Every structure is written in structure tokens, then in C-alpha cells.
């Protein structure tokens, strides 16, 4: 009996911590998404002013054009950035798995972008994109891709892709790192056997490497998809959601609704709708992951 | 026995964690709640926390030192953030308690209705002296007024002024600033063609911030338009409003103004002007102090002119004054008021003008000889202030502004035409007005 209770007792402190710093704020946010706090967060201190509006906040959110436009932009950001990060990350991992001189050094250098805080990365890229002095802007102009210096952050579509490029630069090493670790655990004799059987390099990649990497790929994709869906800081620094709302993702919209317009209720409602999308993603991924393990 | 030991241990652990949290809380609550009784006692130290925009932060730090010398028992803890973050940070702090709350906050004139209505700042009408009621400019008093009560003291009398680099214009053969927007276009083209400026002759803060709305208002005013007609109906989408926005959009498309304008804020365009990259800049009064600071490459070259106009319009600009208010969270409102009153005093207001370029709130300071002599743009700024209009005063102002910013940018980036963008914005304004 005591053996059964004791583990739980030891875990009690951490339960308290989780309850107080995660679960309670979460329930509190859920609660304010059902009352009307528009214009005045002070109402929270006066229970008689709590005005329950049921699903009104959610309805307002779901019928707003800004929400659907933000959702579309978030999905675009997520798909493009995670897709590119995965392809480039996989290529880097495959290269770094080969034996060559100075491999250790290259593996170390590869991680540098990932070690940057997002804010530093965002400010860095903002300067690279500067319309008059930016390195990237200048390079594009000199190579003839653009007609002279252009303001990459000055148009909705190019601004979104510019932000994606900055995000890919930072997060690709993370995927490369996970895949590289998994690659190193594939025993070499499998490849030797395949070579003996006459499988060429492409065949070996698709028949051996990728299937054996699947669990690692899943982990990397799950983590990155969740993060990309919640993207906020890089956008806040680089474009503040602009120009013309072209980079306004769901997280930024949530922030704008709560912190700029002071409507914490609709902010909470957007955040919960967003969590539903993330939960669906997570469910799909977990389904695929567990199938793999079985 | 072992069992009980383990149990006790874990309970103790858990308990200590909670005790840890709550005791530190109790401590700070205790400390602050002691203060009201202490504040009557002149010998006890009090600390007031002030959150301010960084526009005049340099001057305010100096003024605080003077204040603390005069009032050794009051310590002022000044925090300042970029203007673009100010509203968000204040909004978050209004529901905070203890150390996260501020005694004094810096409020922009467009937030007066929102803050006063929600009770984020307390009325200070009773604390106003007759001298203040009569001596402060009515326009300044107007920005702190809500429902007949005063909610703070204005700190300066501000608007978007039109600065130009006189030396550069002379090089291009002009002996006066542009009087009309057509002339502005001509001069900009010539300055750029003759390579007097490295690129376009001006850059504007047209990123998706409040600054964009201010600049649009300036164009709206100088094209002869306004937001609301005398009956309160939105008219920003009339012919004049459309012309104003069309001019902005053409200017960026034709390269008359820097194409980076759409991702710049009012700090970045000041830097471009200070470094001699542009010949014109439209900005607040604190620019004057910055332009003539020692680190400026164009020190002594700049002047203030009236905002250019479209044919037949008045050189109208937008007002953007700020004031300091006291929050209801403050445990020492008396000390906070003392501090605000000090900053608003004639002595400090005069110093602020000489030091940082701001225009004072007191009527009689405008006749002050020393100010007229030593502030290089005093007369010109005064002349501009006679042509100033404010942004619409509605309590959902921020919602209107955010929407307008997106719509203006859609026009500036060529995704929408000026007419339909402004029509939609007028609809939003009408809807928000009705929600009052």
C-alpha cells in the first residue's frame, strides 16, 4: 500500500506547480473567454460586472474576416517554413553524416543560427532586408533578380516570404540536428548489404534511410509545426504584422486583440480556437507516430 | 516510521513551496500598504514608479534629479519604453498590483477617453489650482478633459511639425521651404537628381503604427479634409481625404519619398534626417532637440516651416500631446501629484523647451524673451500650432486606428484603391461611434 502512495507523494510538489502555473491560468483564460471584458480589464476585480456572454466571443472571432485571413497566413507560414526546414535540414544531416575532413567543425558551425535568440535573429534579418542598405536587398539587385533596391518588407507577399526565410535560417539546424542523431544510429551493415544487392544511392535513401528515420522525422516535424503555428516574436520584430496586415498570424492577432485593443476576452477566444487547431495537428501526428511504433 | 517520514517530508516540501510564494507576496503587500500612512509623515521615504514614453526621457531624467533634490523624501523610479509599446505595456499594468503597477503613467491624448472611462487613471480636478486652470492653454487642458473633469496635467504642446534642411535647399537653389505639396514633389525631385540627398529627399514613418495615422491625419488636414463633419458623421472618405491618401501612395510609387517608408517608424526617419540623408522630415517637437544635439550631423542646419498644403487648403497638421496621470493603484497619490506638478511647473516647462525643444503648456511662456531668443524654432512652431487638428476622439479609438493602418497600407502597397479603402474605414468609424 505504502509503495503505491509514496511515488504520488513525492510527485505532489510538482503537481502543485503544474496546477498553479499551468492549469489554473489556463482555466482562468477559458473563463475570461466566456465573459465580456471589452474595454476594461478592471472588471475582473468586480464579480458583479462579470457579464457572461456564452459563446459570443467565439462567434465574433469566427465571423471576423481578420481571423480567417490570419489563419490562412498562419497555415501558409507553417507549411512553407516547416517544409523548407525539413528538406534543407535533411540534406544537411545527410551531408554531415558522411566522413570528411573538418566534419566536427562544420557540425558545430551549423548550430550557430539555432543558438541565436529569435529576437536577435529577427533584428539581424531586418537589417539584411533594409530597403536602402540591406545585404540581401543589395545582392538581389546586383544579381538582377530585382530592379534596383526594393523594399522586401514593404509588400505583403514578399514580406511574408522574407520572414519565412529568416525563420528557416534559424530553425533548419534544429531539424538537421535531430535527423543527424538518428542517422548515426542506423547500423552501417544495412547499407553494405543493400550495396551488395545492387541498390543505388537513391534506392538506399528511399528504401533504408528515410523509413529508418521516420520516428525522428515525426518528432522534428511535430515540434516545428507546433512552434511555427504559434509564431509571434519574429513577426513582431520584423514586420509588426504589416504591411497591410500581410504577416498578421494568429498569435499576432491574439496579441493585438488583447494587448493593443484591450479586449482580453476576444483575445482569449482566439487563443482557444488556435489551440483547437494545434490539438488537431498534434492528434494527427500522434496517430501516425504510434502506428509506427506498433 | 519510514512511511511517515516520507509523507512528512513531501508535505513539508509542498508546504514550504506555498509558504515561499505567499510569504513573499505578503511581504510586498505589507510594505506598500504601509505607505499611505507614512506618506503623511514628511520624513519617511516613498518611491513613486513612473512609466513614460522615451521621447523626452533624457530630459525627464534630469528633471527627476532636480525634483529629488527639492523633495529628498520622494524617490522617483522612471521607466521608459518606446512610444509604440507604451499603450500595450500600460494596459497590461493596469490590472497588476504591487510592484508591477505604476503610480504615474504617460498618456497620449487619443487614450484619454479610453483610460478615463475605464478608470485606469483617476480624476485630479480637485487638485488643480486656479493658476493652472487659467494659465494653461485651453487646447492643452482639452486633452486631459473627460466628462468635465481633469485626468492629469499636459506635459507639452505637440504636433507634427515640418522640418527642412535649409542648407540642402539652398544648394538646390531654393530660399524657402515648400509651400504646397506640388512644390514639395518638385523640390524632392530636384534634390535627388542633383544628388544633394543620397536617395529620395524624405522618409516617412508609415509602418503599421499609430504614427501612420498621425501622418495620414497631417495629409488629410493639409489637403483640406477632416475625419468628422460638424454633426459627427465620418467624412474622411470625401474627395479631399481620397486626394490626400492618393498623394501618399503616388509619392511612394514614384520614388518621391523613400520606399522604405512603409516599414519605418518615426524614430528611424529622424535618424535619417539627423545623419543628413534626407532634407525633409515631419515629426514631433522632440525632433528639434535631437536634430540640434551634439551627435547630429545637421546641427544648426534645420528649420521648421509650415506643413505644405494642397491648393486652397490650410496648413493643418495633427496634434499629439501627452500628459501624466495618476493610476488608482497608486498608494501615494500625493507624492505622485507633487511630481507631476513639478514637471508641469513654469520653471521646468521652460527648461524642457530650451533643453529638448518641446513647446510649453503655459500661455505666458510664449511671451518669454529667453525662450523666443534661445529656442530656434519657437515662433515657427507656435505658428504651426494655430493650424492643428486632432484625431477622432472615440473610446474605441485604437480599434479604429488599427483598422485604418491596415487599410492605408493596402493603398500604399497597391493592394487597394484609396476610395474603397477610405469608404470602408468610414464605415468602421461610424460603427464604432454608434457603439459608444
Q: What is the mean pLDDT of residues B132-161?
A: 89
Show residues of chain A in contact with B207, CB under 8 Å: 240, 242-243
Show residues of chain A in contact with B262, CB under 8 Å: 151, 153-154, 242-243
What ipTM describes this predicted complex? 0.76
Residue of B nearest to A243 (CA): B409
What is the reported pLDDT for B30?
Answer: 35
Facing residues of B78 across strands? B50
How many other C-beta atoms lie within 10 A of the C-beta of residue A98? 8
In the three-class reduction of DSSP (H, G, I as helix; E, B as strand; rest coil), residue B340 is classed as helix
> Measured between CA atoms, how close is A41 to chain B, in angstroms?
7
DSSP one-letter code for B387 = S
What is the reported pLDDT for B230?
Answer: 85
Residue of A nearest to B14 (CA): A13
pLDDT bin (cut points 50, 70, 90) of residue B45 is confident
Show residues of chain B in contact with A155, CB under 8 Å: 413
In the three-class reduction of DSSP (H, G, I as helix; E, B as strand; rest coil), residue B255 is classed as coil
Q: What is the pTM of this model?
A: 0.81
- Checking if the pLDDT of B29 tops 80, the result is no
Task: Show Cβ contacts of residue A256 under 8 Å, excluding neighbours closer than 6 positions.
Answer: A241, A248, B402
pLDDT bin (cut points 50, 70, 90) of residue B25 is very low
In chain A, which among 195-254 make CB contacts under 8 A with chain B?
A: 239-246
- Checking if the pLDDT of B371 tops 50, the result is yes
Q: What is the mean pLDDT of residues B159-164?
A: 92
CB pairs under 8 A between A and B: 111
User: Which of B92, B119, B398 is closest, CB to CB, to A42?
Assistant: B119
Q: B398–A262: do the CB atoms touch at under 8 Å? A: yes
Pairs from A163-166 (Cβ < 8 Å, separation ≥ 24): A163/A77, A163/A125, A163/A234, A163/A235, A163/A238, A163/A239, A163/A247, A164/A77, A164/A80, A164/A81, A164/A84, A165/A125, A166/A121, A166/A122, A166/A124, A166/A125, A166/A234, A166/A238
- Checking if the pLDDT of B172 tops 80, the result is yes
Show residues of chain A in contact with B399, CB under 8 Å: 261
pLDDT bin (cut points 50, 70, 90) of residue A1 is low
Facing residues of A52 across strands? A35
In the three-class reduction of DSSP (H, G, I as helix; E, B as strand; rest coil), residue B353 is classed as helix
Q: What is the mean pLDDT of residues A235-250?
A: 86
Q: What digits encode the pLDDT tens for the residues A132-182?
A: 788 888 888 888 888 777 888 888 888 999 999 999 999 999 999 999 999
Q: What is the mean pLDDT of residues B265-289?
A: 90
What is the reported pLDDT for B20?
Answer: 39
Q: What digits encode the pLDDT tens for the residues B199-244?
A: 899 999 998 888 999 999 999 999 999 898 888 888 889 999 999 9
- The answer, for B254 touching chain A at a CB cutoff of 8 Å, is no
C-alpha cell at A48: 458583479
- Checking if the pLDDT of B26 tops 50, the result is no
Q: B259–A131: do the CB atoms touch at under 8 Å? A: yes
Q: What digits encode the pLDDT tens for the residues A68-125?
A: 999 999 999 999 999 999 999 999 999 998 888 888 898 889 889 998 899 999 999 9
pLDDT bin (cut points 50, 70, 90) of residue A42 is low
Residue of B nearest to A238 (CA): B263
Q: List, in sequence order, the alpha helices (H) in chain A.
A: 2-18, 24-32, 56-62, 65-97, 103-110, 112-115, 118-128, 135-142, 156-184, 188-196, 201-204, 210-229, 233-238, 250-255, 264-293
pLDDT bin (cut points 50, 70, 90) of residue B185 is very high
What does the radius of gyration of chain B's CA atoms come to, in whole angstroms?
25
Burial classification of residue B22, based on how many CB atoms lie within 10 Å of its CB (0-12 exposed, 13-18 middle, 19 or more buried): exposed
Q: What is the mean pLDDT of residues B163-173?
A: 91
Q: In this structure, is the dihedral angle defined by the CA atoms of residues B384, B388, B391 and B393, taken in order, positive or negative?
A: positive
Amino acid at each position: 500500500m505504502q509503495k503505491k502512495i509514496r511515488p504520488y507523494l513525492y510527485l505532489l510538489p510538482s503537481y502543485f506547480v503544474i496546477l498553479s502555473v499551468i492549469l489554473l491560468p489556463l482555466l482562468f483564460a477559458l473563463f475570461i473567454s466566456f465573459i465580456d471584458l471589452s474595454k476594461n480589464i478592471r472588471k475582473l476585480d468586480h464579480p458583479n460586472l462579470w457579464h457572461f456572454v456564452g459563446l459570443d466571443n467565439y462567434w465574433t472571432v469566427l465571423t471576423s474576416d481578420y481571423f480567417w485571413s490570419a489563419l490562412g497566413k498562419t497555415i501558409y507560414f507553417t507549411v512553407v517554413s516547416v517544409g523548407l526546414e525539413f528538406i534543407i535540414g535533411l540534406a544537411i544531416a545527410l551531408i554531415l553524416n558522411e566522413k570528411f575532413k573538418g566534419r566536427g567543425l562544420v557540425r558545430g558551425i551549423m548550430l550557430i543560427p539555432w543558438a541565436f535568440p529569435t529576437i536577435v535573429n529577427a533584428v539581424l534579418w531586418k537589417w539584411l532586408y533594409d530597403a536602402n542598405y540591406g545585404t540581401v536587398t543589395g545582392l538581389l539587385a546586383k544579381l538582377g533578380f530585382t530592379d534596383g533596391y526594393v523594399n522586401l518588407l514593404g509588400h505583403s507577399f514578399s514580406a511574408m516570404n522574407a520572414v519565412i526565410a529568416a525563420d528557416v535560417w534559424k530553425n533548419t539546424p534544429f531539424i538537421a540536428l535531430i535527423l543527424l542523431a538518428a542517422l548515426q544510429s542506423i547500423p552501417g551493415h544495412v547499407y553494405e548489404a543493400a550495396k551488395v544487392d545492387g541498390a543505388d544511392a537513391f534506392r538506399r535513401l528511399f528504401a533504408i534511410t528515410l523509413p529508418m528515420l521516420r520516428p525522428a522525422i515525426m518528432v522534428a516535424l511535430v515540434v516545428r509545426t507546433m512552434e511555427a503555428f504559434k509564431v509571434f516574436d519574429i513577426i513582431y520584430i520584423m514586420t509588426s504584422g504589416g504591411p497591410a496586415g500581410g504577416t498578421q498570424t494568429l498569435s499576432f492577432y491574439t496579441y493585438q486583440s488583447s494587448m493593443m485593443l484591450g479586449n482580453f476576452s476576444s483575445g482569449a477566444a482566439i487563443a482557444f480556437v488556435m489551440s483547437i487547431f494545434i490539438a488537431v495537428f498534434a492528434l494527427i501526428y500522434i496517430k501516425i507516430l504510434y502506428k509506427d511504433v506498433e | 516510521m519510514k512511511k511517515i517520514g516520507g509523507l512528512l517530508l513531501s508535505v513539508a516540501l509542498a508546504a514550504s513551496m506555498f509558504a515561499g510564494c505567499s510569504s513573499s507576496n505578503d511581504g510586498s503587500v505589507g510594505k506598500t500598504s504601509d505607505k499611505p500612512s507614512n506618506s503623511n509623515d514628511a520624513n519617511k521615504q516613498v518611491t513613486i514608479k513612473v512609466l513614460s514614453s522615451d521621447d523626452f526621457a533624457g530630459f525627464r531624467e534630469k528633471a527627476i534629479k532636480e525634483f529629488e533634490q527639492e523633495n529628498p523624501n520622494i524617490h522617483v523610479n522612471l521607466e521608459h519604453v518606446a512610444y509604440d509599446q507604451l499603450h500595450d505595456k500600460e494596459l497590461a499594468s493596469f490590472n497588476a498590483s504591487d510592484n508591477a503597477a505604476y503610480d504615474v503613467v504617460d498618456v497620449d491624448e487619443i487614450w484619454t477617453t479610453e483610460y478615463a472611462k475605464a478608470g485606469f487613471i483617476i480624476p485630479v480636478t480637485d487638485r488643480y489650482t486656479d493658476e493652472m486652470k487659467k494659465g494653461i492653454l485651453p487646447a492643452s487642458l482639452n486633452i486631459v478633459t473627460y466628462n468635465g473633469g481633469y485626468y492629469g496635467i499636459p506635459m507639452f504642446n505637440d504636433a507634427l511639425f515640418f522640418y527642412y534642411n535649409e542648407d540642402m535647399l539652398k544648394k538646390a537653389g531654393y530660399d524657402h521651404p515648400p509651400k504646397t505639396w506640388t512644390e514639395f514633389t518638385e523640390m524632392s525631385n530636384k534634390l535627388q537628381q542633383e544628388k544633394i540627398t543620397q536617395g529620395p529627399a524624405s522618409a516617412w514613418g508609415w509602418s503599421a503604427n499609430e504614427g501612420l495615422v498621425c501622418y495620414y491625419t497631417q495629409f488629410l488636414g493639409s489637403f483640406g479634409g477632416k475625419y468628422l463633419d460638424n454633426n459627427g458623421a465620418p467624412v474622411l472618405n470625401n474627395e479631399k481625404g481620397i486626394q490626400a491618401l492618393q498623394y501618399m501612395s503616388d509619392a511612394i510609387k514614384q520614388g518621391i519619398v523613400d520606399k522604405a517608408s512603409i516599414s519605418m517608424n518615426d524614430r528611424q526617419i529622424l535618424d535619417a534626417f539627423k545623419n543628413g540623408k534626407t532634407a525633409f522630415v515631419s515629426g514631433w517637437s522632440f525632433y528639434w532637440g535631437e536634430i540640434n544635439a551634439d551627435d547630429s550631423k545637421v546641427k544648426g542646419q534645420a528649420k521648421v516651416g509650415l506643413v505644405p498644403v494642397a491648393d486652397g487648403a490650410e496648413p493643418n497638421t495633427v496634434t499629439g500631446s501627452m500628459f501624466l496621470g495618476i493610476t488608482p493603484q497608486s498608494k501615494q497619490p500625493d507624492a505622485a501629484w507633487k511630481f507631476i506638478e513639478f514637471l508641469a511647473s513654469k520653471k521646468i516647462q521652460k527648461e524642457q523647451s530650451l533643453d529638448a525643444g518641446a513647446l510649453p503648456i503655459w500661455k505666458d511662456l510664449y511671451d518669454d524673451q529667453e525662450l523666443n531668443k534661445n529656442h530656434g524654432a519657437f515662433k515657427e512652431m507656435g505658428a504651426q500650432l494655430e493650424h492643428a487638428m486632432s484625431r477622432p476622439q472615440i473610446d474605441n479609438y485604437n480599434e479604429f486606428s488599427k483598422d485604418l493602418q491596415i487599410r492605408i497600407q493596402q493603398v500604399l502597397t497597391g493592394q487597394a484603391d484609396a476610395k474603397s479603402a477610405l469608404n470602408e474605414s468610414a464605415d468602421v468609424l461610424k460603427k464604432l461611434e454608434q457603439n459608444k
